[in-house]
Amino acid sequence: MARVCEICKKRTESGGSIARRGLPKKKGGIGLRTTGHTLRKFRPNTQRVRAWIGGEVRRILVCTRCIKSGKVVKPPVAAKT
């Protein structure tokens, strides 16, 4: 399953993580030294939710930012008898 929001199209992005060792000069050391670069991924926080789309209820994959901002209209809850 692809981690792509169906509303805002937010998707996984790649970036870098830099490993360093040593004490910064500001704290009394001789400075930080870079010991390695690693490729990492920044993944959006996606959730499967039931949403009201085009007059019908569908399950869609949506990021939490779209849920919190009100871009997702949730269906009414059926009354229990």
**Residue 46's domain spans which residues?**
13-69
Question: What burial letters (b/e) apply to 14-50, b meaning 16+ CB within 10 Å?
Answer: eeeeeeeeeeeeeeeeeeeeeeeeeeeeeebebeebe
Q: What pLDDT, in 10s, does the model give residues 26-71?
A: 999 999 999 999 999 999 999 999 999 988 999 999 999 999 999 9
The DSSP bridge partners found for residue 34 are: 20
> Looking at the predicted structure, is the pLDDT value of residue 13 above 80?
yes
Q: Is residue 60 part of a domain?
A: yes
> For residue 2, is it within any domain?
no
Q: Check residue 80 and give its pLDDT.
A: 79
Q: What is the distance between the alpha carbons of residues 9 and 15, in angstroms, rounded to a whole number?
A: 18
The predicted structure's pLDDT at residue 2: 83
Q: Is residue 6 part of a domain?
A: no
Q: What average pLDDT does this structure show over 14-24?
A: 96
> Model's pTM, two decimal places?
0.72
Q: 3-class DSSP state for residue 25? A: helix
As for how many domains the chain has, the answer is 1
For residue 1, pLDDT over 80 is answered with no
Whether residue 1 is contained in a domain is answered as: no
Domain membership flag for residue 8: no
75 is a domain residue: no
